[in-house]
Chain A
Amino acid sequence: DGGITQSPKYLFRKEGQNVTLSCEQNLNHDAMYWYRQDPGQGLRLIYYSQIVNDFQKGDIAEGYSVSREKKESFPLTVTSAQKNPTAFYLCASRSGRSYNEQFFGPGTRLTVL
């Protein structure tokens, strides 16, 4: 059953702690993306990766870090430097062959206490 998964679905964090959000895909897609969504807002791009071992900053990368050691995995770390981390985080992937359609995971809702 192909798809893109994110875990956990809900995550609570104390201020000052780093936390890592998981994103895994078995679609054999080359590109992967992390977006942040705030209530009633659109998606803003945090980081993206077009290929393994390479990634680029998006529009709001400050306070976040990523790695792309495997094609299937693109974890996002929300660091203590992110001043307002409470949000809904969405991971997406895209095949290099498709005309840029992105496939999204179910999201992780992060709440900082």
Chain B
Amino acid sequence: SQQGEEDPQALSIQEGENATMNCSYKTSINNLQWYRQNSGRGLVHLILIRSNEREKHSGRLRVTLDTSKKSSSLLITASRAADTASYFCATRGPTGANNLFFGTGTRLTVIP
């Protein structure tokens, strides 16, 4: 399976602290994406990083990609209580179907 795995499974931090989540995957990829899911809701796309990119920023989000280690990290700086959610990485294979393979998620709790 190409499915990614996030680490840690759960993370609890104080408001204002930074949160780092990691994702590992198994096969070569075209791109890697991060999504956010509030409890009982659909997923929302956060950021996409292509296989030839090493780092990308979007607001308080910073994503890194290390294709040699088949891993990615998502950093949320200056966290807020509203950042409380589950975060998933998703990978797209290098060729063929445009399907995404989702990881198991990191449950982030930001304590006010």
Contact = CB atoms under 8 A, between A and B. Distances in A.
A42 B3 contact: yes
B71 interface: no
A90 interface: yes
B88 A107 contact: no
Nearest to A4: B42
Contacts, number: 58
Interface stretch (A14-22, A67-75, A79-87, A98-106): A98-106
Contact of B33 (A33, A42, A100): A100
Contacts of B104: 41-42
Contacts of A42: 3, 88, 102-105
Interface of B: 3, 30-31, 33, 35, 40-45, 48, 50, 88, 92, 97-100, 102-105, 107
